[in-house]
Structure 1
């Protein structure tokens, strides 16, 4: 039986294995997280991802090939991922430190 995620456009065997390793096991999981958080979940597991995975996940959610995503959509995805990366690097202060 083929995996539900593999039925989605753009998602092949390797990307689906990565998604599973990140705790994303079906389309509902992927839709609940969205492309940005699913991509970050895979990346934080230590897999050597590229932005193509980010675009592939977004395309899968939209049922369109990742190459056909408009440049504005790709730019927005990149900006959102960069924002999460910056947030992760920002030192967190506690109430006592404030």
Structure 2
């Protein structure tokens, strides 16, 4: 399971959701990126809100999730929409 040291700003519940989705550390999250990781968590049946997306992006960029939610919201939502669209058959 990922550790808070590897992914600062993510709490135990978030760590459990990542582990349930097969994301076992910072390297896994970096390889996927926050948007694809968020979609993987959702696909694994986890009840994740967009706050998890902000927190994962914050963990990767060294920012507080609240700052990410304010400053990066539009970019991340557009990326999420585009990624979901690309994944549709």
TM-score, normalised to structure 1, is 0.78
Larger radius of gyration: 1
- The separation in 1 between residues aligned to 2:60 and 2:79, in whole angstroms, is 17
Cα distance, 1:65 vs. partner?
Answer: 0.5
Aligned residues of 1:10 and 1:65 also touching (Cα < 8 A): yes
**Structure 1 residues 1-98: aligned runs within 5 Å:** 4-7=2-5, 8-69=7-68, 71-89=70-88, 92=89
Worse-matched range after superposition: 32-41 or 76-85: 76-85
SS in structure 2 at match of 1:6: coil
SS in structure 2 at match of 1:5: coil
Aligned residues of 2:54 and 2:69 also touching (Cα < 8 A): no
TM-score, normalised to structure 2, is 0.85
Cα distance, 1:76 vs. partner?
Answer: 0.7
Q: What RMSD over aligned residues (CA atoms) do the two structures have, in Å?
A: 1.7
